[in-house]
Amino acid sequence: MKKVWIYLENGIFLEAKSFGSEGTKVGEIVFNTSMSGYQEIISDPSYAGQFITFTMPEIGNVGVNKEDMESYGAFAKGIIVRNYQRRYSNFRAEDSLENFLKKFDVMGICDIDTRFLTKVLREDGSQMMIASTEISDQEELKKILENSPRIEEINYIKEVSAKKSYIHKSATYDARVFRYKEPPEAKAKIVAIDFGVKRNILNNLTEAGLEVEVIPQDFCVEELIERFEKGEIDGVFLSNGPGDPLILKDIHEKIKKLIEKKIPMFGICLGHQLLSISHGYPTFKLKFGHHGGNHPVRNEKTKRVEITAQNHNYNVPENIKDIAEVTHINLFDNTIEGLKYKNSPIFSVQHHPEASPGPHESAYIFKEFADLVIKHKDSK
């Protein structure tokens, strides 16, 4: 393994070992507390532009396989792990994590104190960093980092979104027989706007009884409204995705037009944030974000606590309560996790109810969306 040198914007300079792709990369460093599912995390498009620090110390031990991909690639700048296991052992494994990272140009960093890094991020917050297998001089790395664009200045959804529309046909994965379930008969049709959508979100929408057409992020809103008014589609889903939602100004304007037409809509993560902004309530950045598979969220209607998967750095403001009912609350920091807009067939959640692998307590949310869309369709 080659040496790799790391410089954080708070001045910390570290040396570690490299696996995966080589070179010099700049991105935002965050930490993820999930105990399993590293391939799903790395292939989640919402991590575009970021270095993922895994708090789970052993990574690579189960290899990788095609079935566990959450998208068609991997868009993170790199991953940071305590121990990388080159010798993988799992009956589903098809290749090593190292080869996977090289294939998608993702840097791998190991033999580093990830507990220390996590504490730094918890105290100082998520921040920009640079990692290089070519440059060892601290001052040179600092200069490159200072002259590089920040993650909140880059529109990553153009990179991760589908380039053309398609129909998604698979349902959720059945681990008992190691294959995807046959989707049920569709009772309504929706369009999923792809800002970096995870495959298992689409699987859950299909399994809920919806025909799902995925469209790119540069969609024509007038065409979408026309299709809704003609009865060709019955609702719209706004997907998860990477980066700062405030810079997506053209998307805000399009969503405003969908809101005005009272089209049934459901958003997850970035979609949740975009709905808030489009209603006139800008998001704010959390200190170190929520990234992991163990976040307790309280359903405000049932008062049940659901363990959820999370991946976001931004959150909706408290004053959105003026126009929306808060449906879910994060019990770690009391931030808003779910909203139902007043006098509109629109709701959203900040967490990931599809969670694969991970907790399934929030999977009912997909059925709630399907019920909403079907009810609205039948009332027309």
> What pairing do the DSSP bridges indicate for beta strands 210-215 and 166-168?
antiparallel
CA nearest neighbour of 206 among 39, 350, 360, 373: 373
| CATH number reported for the structural domain that contains residue 25 in this entry | 3.50.30.20
Residue 119: which residues within 8 A CB-CB, separation 6 or more? none
Cα–Cα distance between 311 and 292 in angstroms, integer?
Answer: 7
CA nearest neighbour of 109 among 84, 145, 138, 141: 84
Is there a catalytic annotation at residue 352? yes
Q: How far is CA 8 from CA 164, 251, 253, in A?
A: 38, 32, 36
Question: Same domain, yes or no, for 122 and 167?
Answer: no
Question: Same domain, yes or no, for 52 and 167?
Answer: no
> What pairing do the DSSP bridges indicate for beta strands 284-299 and 179-180?
unpaired
Residue 178 has a pLDDT of 72
Q: Which of 40, 70, 98, 354 is catalytic?
A: 354
Cα–Cα distance between 171 and 183 in angstroms, integer?
Answer: 5
Question: Same domain, yes or no, for 226 and 320?
Answer: yes
Question: Same domain, yes or no, for 95 and 170?
Answer: no
How many structural domains comprise the chain? 2
Is there a catalytic annotation at residue 269? yes
Question: Same domain, yes or no, for 102 and 130?
Answer: yes
Tokens of 196: 């970096």
Over residues 339-360, the pLDDT tens digits come to 999 999 999 999 999 977 788 8
Question: Same domain, yes or no, for 370 and 277?
Answer: yes
Question: Same domain, yes or no, for 74 and 216?
Answer: no
pLDDT by residue, tens only, the chain of 380 residues: 899 999 999 999 999 999 999 999 999 999 999 999 999 999 999 999 999 999 999 999 999 999 899 999 999 999 999 999 999 999 999 999 999 999 999 999 999 999 999 999 999 999 999 999 999 999 999 999 999 999 999 999 999 999 999 999 988 877 676 777 888 899 999 999 999 999 999 999 999 999 999 999 999 999 999 999 999 999 999 999 999 999 999 999 999 999 999 999 999 999 999 999 999 999 999 999 999 999 999 999 999 999 999 999 999 999 999 999 999 999 999 999 999 999 999 999 999 999 777 888 999 999 999 999 999 999 87
| CATH number reported for the structural domain that contains residue 289 in this entry | 3.40.50.880
Q: Among the three residues 100, 119, 153, which one is the final residue of a domain in this structure?
A: 153
Helices (H), 215-248: 221-229
Q: Which of 168, 279, 351, 352 is catalytic?
A: 352
Residue 171 has a pLDDT of 87
- Structural domain of residue 42, as residue ranges? 2-153
Residue 258: which residues within 8 A CB-CB, separation 6 or more? 221, 224, 225, 236, 265
Share of the chain above pLDDT 90, in %: 93
Question: Same domain, yes or no, for 162 and 121?
Answer: no
Is there a catalytic annotation at residue 290? no
Q: Among the three residues 153, 175, 197, which one is the final residue of a domain in this structure?
A: 153
- In this structure, the number of other CB atoms found within 10 A of the CB of residue 72 comes to 12
Can you give the pTM of this predicted structure? 0.96
Question: Same domain, yes or no, for 170 and 148?
Answer: no
Residue 82 has a pLDDT of 98
Over residues 72-110, the pLDDT tens digits come to 999 999 999 999 999 999 999 999 999 999 999 999 999
Residue 379 has a pLDDT of 87
315 burial (CB, 10 Å; 0-12 / 13-18 / 19+) is buried
Question: Same domain, yes or no, for 169 and 146?
Answer: no
Q: Which of 211, 252, 269, 295 is catalytic?
A: 269
Residue 380 has a pLDDT of 75
